[in-house]
């Protein structure tokens, strides 16, 4: 172990081109999505993605609180992203910090651009994202969970919105950063895509990439998003299969 305060930098990219967890540069962490696990919410989804565990719940369209935020010609989309105190190695201080506020804002804006908000004037669509376990990419996992939860709530949208972070470790542009890659890599670029049109509705960047690397990162992210899109659609199909689990089947058994 190193001295107090010194952080040992792990080897992020092996000589065989494999990453710290054995993945190839263009490989996603395993992802599983459950649609509709919460019966109290209008829509919900649980995403397990690598070591991330993220729950999303959607309520609405419903009355706007606080009232002065109400818009006469459209619904507003409010999002609260929160990381549980127990979600990370070093306990996170509970409550909204600047990071959570920023993430909540960019996610709300992403969804406002895909939901048909003009169909529900004077209402609010409320999206809650709770990170129960975090290992980098939680805002993307949050977007994926919220997107499936919105569809589960029956909110009309142009499309589902898959998301993934791409970045750079060593000399390589890589897909879906895990914690060590996020901490010790040289770039982190979360993005969210509308698959049918190819429009990006969320794009942030920390670190440095050359123009070529940026182009490669975007290409890699789009391919990753399209794979996640398939898992999202399957989660919704599983939810609404007549023989599948869920509130309807449970209701009949009771």
Binding site for ligand UDP (CB under 6 A): 88, 92, 99, 134-139, 165, 179, 182, 188, 190
Q: Which is nearer to ligand UDP, 155 or 166 (CB)?
A: 166
- 154's CB contacts (< 8 A; 6+ apart) are 42, 43
Give the Cα separation of 161 and 97 in Å (integer).
25
To ligand UDP, the closest distance from the beta carbon of 134 in angstroms equals: 4
- Cβ proximity to ligand UDP: between 153 and 209 the closer is 209
- How far is residue 83 CA from its own chain's centroid? 13
Output the six-digit token pair for 164. Answer: 């993934």
* Closest distance of CB 99 from ligand UDP, Å: 6
Task: Quote the least distance from Cβ 179 to ligand UDP, whole Å.
Answer: 5
Q: How far is the CB of 184 from ligand UDP (least distance, A)?
A: 12
Of 13 and 88, CB closest to ligand UDP: 88
Residue 203 near residue 191, CB atoms below 8 Å: yes
Alpha carbon distances (Å) from 145 to 15, 40, 48: 35, 16, 9
- In DSSP notation, 23-55 reads --TT-PPPEEEEE---SSSSEEEEEEETTEEEE
DSSP letter, residue 69 = G
Alpha carbon distances (Å) from 112 to 41, 89, 109, 185: 20, 33, 5, 31
**Tokens 């309807």 identify what position?**
248
């Amino acid at each position: 172990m190193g001295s107090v305060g010194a952080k040992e930098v792990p080897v992020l990219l092996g000589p065989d081109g494999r990453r710290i967890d054995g993945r190839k540069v263009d490989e996603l962490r395993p992802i599983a999505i459950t649609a509709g696990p919460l019966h109290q919410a209008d829509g919900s989804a649980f995403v397990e993605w690598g070591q991330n565990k993220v729950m999303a719940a959607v309520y609405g369209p419903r009355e706007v609180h606080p009232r002065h935020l109400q818009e006469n010609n459209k619904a507003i989309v409010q999002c609260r992203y929160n990381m549980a105190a127990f979600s990370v190695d070093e306990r996170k201080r509970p409550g909204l910090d600047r990071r959570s506020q920023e993430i909540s804002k960019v996610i709300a804006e992403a969804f406002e651009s895909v939901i048909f908000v003009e169909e529900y004037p004077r209402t609010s669509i409320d999206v809650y994202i709770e990170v129960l376990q975090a290992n980098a990419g939680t805002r993307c996992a949050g977007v994926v969970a919220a997107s499936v939860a919105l569809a589960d709530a029956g909110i009309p949208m142009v499309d589902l919105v898959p998301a993934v972070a791409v970045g750079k470790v060593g000399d390589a542009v890589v897909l879906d950063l895990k914690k060590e890659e996020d901490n010790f890599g040289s770039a982190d670029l979360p993005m969210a895509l509308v698959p049918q049109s190819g429009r990006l509705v969320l794009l942030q960047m920390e670190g440095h990439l050359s123009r070529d690397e940026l182009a490669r990162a975007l290409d890699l992210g789009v391919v990753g998003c399209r794979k996640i899109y398939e898992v999202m659609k399957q989660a919704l199909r599983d939810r609404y299969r007549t023989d599948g689990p869920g509130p309807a089947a449970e209701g009949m058994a009771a």
